[in-house]
Chains A and B, each alone.
Chain A
Amino acid sequence: MKKSALASPSISWKLMRMNVLVSAIALILASVSFLAYDSWSFRQNILHSLGTEAEIIGSNSISALTFDDADAAGTTLSALRSSPHVVSALILTPDGQPFASYLRDSHSPHVIPAALTGGASIQDWRRGDDLLLASRIQFRGKVLGTVYIQSDTTEIKDRIRRYALIAGAILFVCLLSALVLTSSMRRVIADPITALAAVAQTVSREKDYSIRAGASQESDEIGVLVQSFNEMLAQIQQRDGALIESQDALEQRIEERTAELQSANRELEAFSYSVAHDLRGPLDSVGNIVFLVAQADLSGVDDHTREMLTTLPAVTSRMSGLIDDLLNLSRSKSTTLHLEPLDLSRMAGEIFRDLSLAEPDRVVQVEISPGLFAIADEGLARVVLANLLGNAWKYSAHANPARIEFGTFLQGKESVFYVRDNGAGFDPRLKSRLFQPFQRLHAQSDFVGTGIGLATVARIVERHGGRIWADGEIGKGASFYFTLS
Chain B
Amino acid sequence: MLAVLLPSLLLAEGPREADVEAAYLFDFGKFMQAPVHASSEFRIGIMGRNPFGGTLDKLTARETLDGRPMRVVRVGSIEEARLCDILFVGESEGSGVDHIISTLTGSPVLTVSRIPGFLQRGGMIQFVVVQNHVRFEVNLAAAKDSHIQLSSELLRVAAQVVDEQPGGGQR
Interface positions of A (Cβ within 8 A of B): 60, 62-70, 72, 93, 95, 97, 99, 139-140
Contacts and interface: CB of A to CB of B under 8 A. Distances in A.
A62 B154 CA distance: 9
Contacts of B134: 68
Contact of B30 (A93, A99, A140): A140
Contacts of B79: none
B168 to A, nearest CB: 27
A7 to B, nearest CB: 84
Which of A63, A93, A97, A99 has most chain B Cβ within 10 Å? A63
B133 to A, nearest CB: 8
A63 B20 contact: no
B126 to A, nearest CB: 14
Given A62-B153, A93-B3, A95-B7, A67 B136 contact: yes
Nearest to B154: A63
B103 interface: no
B162 interface: no
B154 A68 contact: no
Contacts of A97: 3
Given A68-B20, A139-B30, A140-B30, A63 B156 contact: yes
24 contacts: A60-B153, A62-B153, A63-B151, A63-B154, A64-B157, A66-B31, A67-B27, A67-B135, A67-B136, A67-B154, A67-B157, A68-B3, A68-B4, A68-B5, A68-B20, A68-B133, A68-B134, A69-B135, A72-B156, A72-B157, A93-B3, A99-B3, A139-B30, A140-B30
Nearest to A95: B7
Contacts of B136: 67
Nearest to A65: B5
Contacts of A62: 153
Nearest to A62: B153
Given A63-B31, A63-B156, A64-B157, A70 B7 contact: no
A91 to B, nearest CB: 10
B36 interface: no
Choose among B1, B4, B27, B134 the residue with the greatest number of A CB atoms under 10 Å from its CB: B1
Contacts of A72: 156-157
Contacts of B20: 68
B53 to A, nearest CB: 20
A66 B4 CA distance: 10
Nearest to B66: A140
Nearest to B5: A68
B52 interface: no
5 closest Cβ pairs, A-B complex:
A63-B153, A69-B157, A63-B157, A67-B157, A72-B157
A72 B152 CA distance: 13
A66 B30 contact: yes
Nearest to A72: B157
B118 to A, nearest CB: 18
A95 B157 CA distance: 22
A273 to B, nearest CB: 154
B28 to A, nearest CB: 9
A139 B65 CA distance: 12
A143 to B, nearest CB: 13
Instruction: Select the residue from B3, B24, B135, B151 with max chain A CB neighbours within 10 A.
Output: B3
Contacts of B157: 63-64, 66-67, 69, 72
Interface string B102-135: 0000000000000000000000000000000111
Interface in B10-38: 20, 24, 27, 30-31
A99 B151 CA distance: 22
Nearest to B26: A66
Contacts of B156: 60, 63-64, 72
A124 to B, nearest CB: 26
Contacts of B153: 60, 62-63
A71 B7 CA distance: 20
A432 B123 CA distance: 160
A313 B171 CA distance: 192
Given A65-B5, A70-B1, 19 more contacts: A60-B156, A63-B31, A63-B151, A63-B153, A64-B157, A66-B27, A66-B30, A66-B31, A66-B157, A67-B24, A67-B27, A68-B133, A69-B135, A69-B157, A72-B156, A93-B3, A93-B5, A95-B7, A99-B3
B140 to A, nearest CB: 15
B3 A70 contact: yes
Contacts of A95: 7
Nearest to A64: B157
B76 to A, nearest CB: 30
A97 B7 CA distance: 11
A68 B10 CA distance: 14
Contacts of B3: 68, 70, 93, 97, 99
Nearest to B7: A95
Nearest to B30: A140
A79 B35 CA distance: 35
A69 B7 CA distance: 16
Kindly name the residue among A60, A68, A72, A95 whose own CB sees the greatest number of chain B CB atoms within 10 A: A68
Contacts of B24: 67
Interface in B145-165: 151, 153-154, 156-157
Nearest to A139: B30
